[in-house]
Amino acid sequence: MMISTKGRYVLRVLADLAEHSTGEYIPMKDIAERQELSLKYVEKIMPALTKQKMVDGLHGKGGGYKLNRPPEEYRVGDILRLTEGTLAPVQCLEDGSSACPRASRCRTLGMWERFNKLTNEFFDSISLADLIGGDDGNDYVI
């Protein structure tokens, strides 16, 4: 499994919003500068985050973006599934996939199922608050 650039950048943007949250809207250019991202790229991903109700956006003077709930309520797993579509390591474990005719005799299926479970549980155990907190001894670099 490879997390896309979009997935990594969305995590960086959301972590930036969490870290700089004052209750006010944060301009995209400020986020782009701090994260060393192209403003054009940030302009592409922010409307999608607004549409998915991950952030609130306001146009015009004093506008920008802000989180619409506490950072503790944002799970990295949810964010990655939003951007990546799935975290499944193989096609047969993707949501909505048709049953594999070989499933009953597949010698690797159990391994893939365990890996999928571990991956989802791992990412679901990390919040935006964890990413910006730094108190737990983990250094998450996105």
C-alpha 16/C-alpha 27 separation (Å) is: 12
Phi, psi of 120 (to 5 degrees): -65, -45
* Unique residue bearing structure tokens 């943007």: 13
> What pLDDT does 134 receive?
62
Q: Shortest CA distance to 17 belongs to which of 59, 71, 78? A: 71
> What pLDDT does 32 receive?
97
C-alpha 63/C-alpha 43 separation (Å) is: 13
Residue type (1 letter), 101: P
> What pLDDT does 137 receive?
43
Query: The tokens of 93 are what?
Result: 């474990």
pTM: 0.87
Break the chain into its structural domains and give their ranges: 1-142
Divide the 142 residues of the chain into consecutive groups of 10 and give the mean pLDDT of each group: 93 97 95 96 94 94 94 97 92 86 91 96 98 64 56
CATH topology for the 1-142 domain: Arc Repressor Mutant, subunit A (1.10.10)
